[in-house]
Amino acid sequence: MSSRNIFNISALSPEFAGYIGDLYHSYSKLRPTPFHYTMDELARAGRLLRHYTQNLDCLDASLDSLSGRTVSLHGQLNMVICDVCQLSEHIRLEE
């Protein structure tokens, strides 16, 4: 599946779910980088008021000071939101 299809409503299928599951599992193995820790220190010191990210990887969520200041512009891979009722739900995929 092409990454372009993520934003195509017709892509909502078992293939799409598999694609998102693969991404989720790949991202779950990632760890924050030195830059993430630097941003967390700035947040802890009160020098970072807001952290905007386009990343879906949720790496900032594991850093206490940074996570509370993060605005995810394109959403997070670990959360789904219903387009009809706006219900949001954190997801956890089983291994």
Out of 25, 51, 74, 90, the active site residue is 74
Known active-site residue 74: yes
Amino acid found at 19: Y
72 CB contacts (<8 Å, ≥6 apart)?
Answer: 53, 55, 56, 58
Q: How many CB atoms lie within 10 A of CB 56?
A: 19
List, by residue number, the catalytic residues: 74
